[in-house]
């Protein structure tokens, strides 16, 4: 193994591709910020307990994929595999729900860790931007979150994504369905592990990808037929609000998702250009999670969108984001005196808010101009001894190729004017 290799299942973000990642994070966050969501940041690790109780003892995430560690002080910690449990924990700890302003609307952006088998679009370290609306049961809130995610994807230019929507029922009707499903599943021809799953998390069996399992599931009882009237009405309302907003969705009664805490509204965003790892984001309502981690009753809803897969989706659709230039002005000094003077100009430009860079290392004109080109700068400033003697620098417009002298004292004002 080379010393310069990132750990298995991880990769580095380096320029220029890293700029796209930043822009994607920003594009997902923008509609949230404009809709009353406040930024929250929580630690990269939590007590193992939080995820065991919150995400669920029976989920793959907790049983197989969590990076756990024991600290030198004997604490059992886990690198966070997802965001919701941490955000809810932090909101409870800070008593945000008691400030008399429900729902508490929060957004976050960060790194998550799952010990999964790496493949295209599936990594052991990945990034999500997420949103949670805590403490209110209102179908308008579920619709708001779906609409904002749709808006974020559309603002990036994505078109080949679909929203899959389902309702998982609530604490009244879900247990009744669960039992009916268990009774049905126990009679099927299934392996030991799947049999165990029937007892702890039978809904997950519906998610089994194997054809021989799926074949036996054709006549499985459907959650839709077991939803109580309150859940049905709630779901119809969410659907109607989405339709009114012009957000297309597909009803998918097989959608159960890998986390235990979901109730009622559940959804996934899938992209059709990504192959096997097609889920770009997902979420839903988690009315019972607060109580599961020892808090009060706080019905909530949220989602997390994967940044890595969103970038892959952009690439699959051939979308190049219109990213702002990083450098507007590039300074090329010819000689010692020019280095000092032009570096002074660069500093002045930067203080005036103009993105400027400098040809470091005393290179010759040809090499320095190559760097100026690569930087994408709209303008270059070139100065040699003769220019300095005349009190000017040469300003070149890299798009038109036009070049002319500008008085040293006027450079910042001239560039501010030209760059608008």
Chain contacts with ligand AMP (rule: CB under 6 A) = 82, 114, 116, 122-123, 126, 128, 258, 279-282, 304, 306, 308-309
Length of the chain: 420
Strands (E), 135-278: 161-167, 250-251, 263-271
Nearer to ligand AMP, 37 or 123 (CB): 123
CB 30 to ligand AMP: min, Å: 19
Instruction: With CA atoms as reference, report the closest residue to 263 among 414, 56, 61.
Output: 56
- Least distance in angstroms from the C-beta of 280 to ligand AMP: 5
Q: Which of 41, 141, 44 is nearest to 90 (CA)?
A: 41
Q: Based on CB atoms, which residue is closest to ligand AMP, 279 or 368?
A: 279
Q: Smallest gap, in angstroms, from Cβ of residue 25 to ligand AMP? A: 13
Long-range interactions of 358-363: CB distance < 8 A, separation 24+: 358/330, 358/331, 358/333, 359/330, 359/331, 359/332, 359/333
Distance CA 313, CA 102 (A): 35
Residue 20 vs 128, nearer CB to ligand AMP: 128
Q: Which is nearer to ligand AMP, 105 or 271 (CB)?
A: 271
Two structure tokens written together for 3: 């010393």
CB of 132 to ligand AMP, least distance (A): 12
Phi-psi region of 229 (alpha: psi -120 to 50; beta: other; left: phi over 0): alpha
To ligand AMP, the closest distance from the beta carbon of 112 in angstroms equals 7
* Spatial separation of the C-alpha atoms in residues 9 and 29, rounded to whole Å: 26
CB of 268 vs ligand AMP, minimal distance in Å? 7
Token pair recorded at residue 46: 């939590």
Torsion of CA 315, 318, 319, 321, to 10 degrees: 70
Whether the bond between 103 and the residue before it is cis, its omega within 30 degrees of 0, is: yes
- Distance in Å, CB of 267 to ligand AMP, minimum: 10
Q: Which is nearer to ligand AMP, 281 or 333 (CB)?
A: 281
Q: How far apart are CA 27 and CA 268, in angstroms?
A: 19
| Closer residue to ligand AMP in complex, CB, 24/372 | 24
Which residue of the chain is nearest ligand AMP when measured via CB? 306
Contact by Cβ (8 Å): 335, 384: yes
Closer Cβ to ligand AMP, 287 or 308, answer by number: 308
């Amino acid at each position: 193994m080379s010393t310069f290799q990132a750990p298995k299942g991880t990769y580095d973000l380096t320029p220029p591709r890293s700029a796209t990642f930043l822009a994607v994070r920003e594009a997902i966050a923008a509609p949230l910020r404009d809709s009353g969501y406040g930024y929250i940041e929580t630690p990269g690790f939590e007590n193992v307990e939080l995820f065991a109780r919150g995400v669920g003892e029976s989920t793959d995430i907790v049983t197989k994929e969590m990076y756990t560690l024991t600290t030198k002080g004997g604490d059992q910690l886990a690198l966070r595999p997802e965001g919701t449990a941490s955000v809810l924990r932090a909101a409870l700890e800070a008593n945000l729900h008691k400030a008399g302003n429900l729902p508490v609307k929060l957004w976050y952006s960060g790194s998550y860790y799952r010990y999964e088998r790496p493949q295209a679009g599936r990594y052991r370290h990945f990034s999500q931007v997420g949103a949670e609306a805590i403490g209110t049961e209102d179908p308008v809130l579920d619709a708001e979150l779906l609409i904002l995610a749709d808006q974020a994807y559309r603002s990036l230019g994505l078109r080949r994504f679909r929203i899959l929507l389902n309702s998982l029922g609530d604490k009244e009707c879900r247990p009744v369905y669960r039992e009916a499903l268990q009774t049905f599943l126990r009679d099927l021809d299934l392996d030991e592990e799947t049999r165990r799953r029937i007892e702890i998390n039978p809904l997950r069996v519906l998610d089994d990808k194997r054809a021989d399992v799926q074949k036996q599931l054709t006549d499985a009882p459907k959650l839709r037929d077991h939803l109580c009237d309150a859940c049905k009405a709630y779901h119809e309302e969410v659907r109607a609000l989405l339709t009114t907003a012009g957000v297309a969705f597909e009803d998918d009664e097989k959608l159960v998702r890998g986390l235990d805490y979901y109730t009622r509204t559940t959804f996934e965003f899938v992209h059709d250009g990504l192959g096997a790892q097609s889920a770009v984001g997902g979420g839903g309502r988690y009315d019972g999670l607060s109580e599961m981690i020892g808090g009060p009753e706080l019905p909530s809803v949220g989602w997390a969108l994967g940044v890595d897969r969103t970038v892959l989706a952009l690439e699959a659709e051939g979308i190049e984001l219109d990213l702002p230039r990083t450098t507007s002005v590039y300074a090329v000094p010819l000689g010692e005196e020019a280095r000092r003077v032009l570096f002074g100009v660069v500093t002045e430009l930067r203080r005036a808010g103009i993105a400027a860079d400098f040809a470091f290392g005393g290179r010759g004109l040809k090499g320095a101009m190559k760097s100026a080109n690569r930087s994408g700068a709209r303008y270059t400033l070139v100065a040699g001894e003769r220019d300095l003697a005349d009190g000017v620098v040469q300003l070149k417009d890299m798009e038109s190729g036009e070049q002319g002298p500008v008085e040293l004292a006027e450079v910042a004002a001239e560039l501010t004017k030209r760059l608008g």
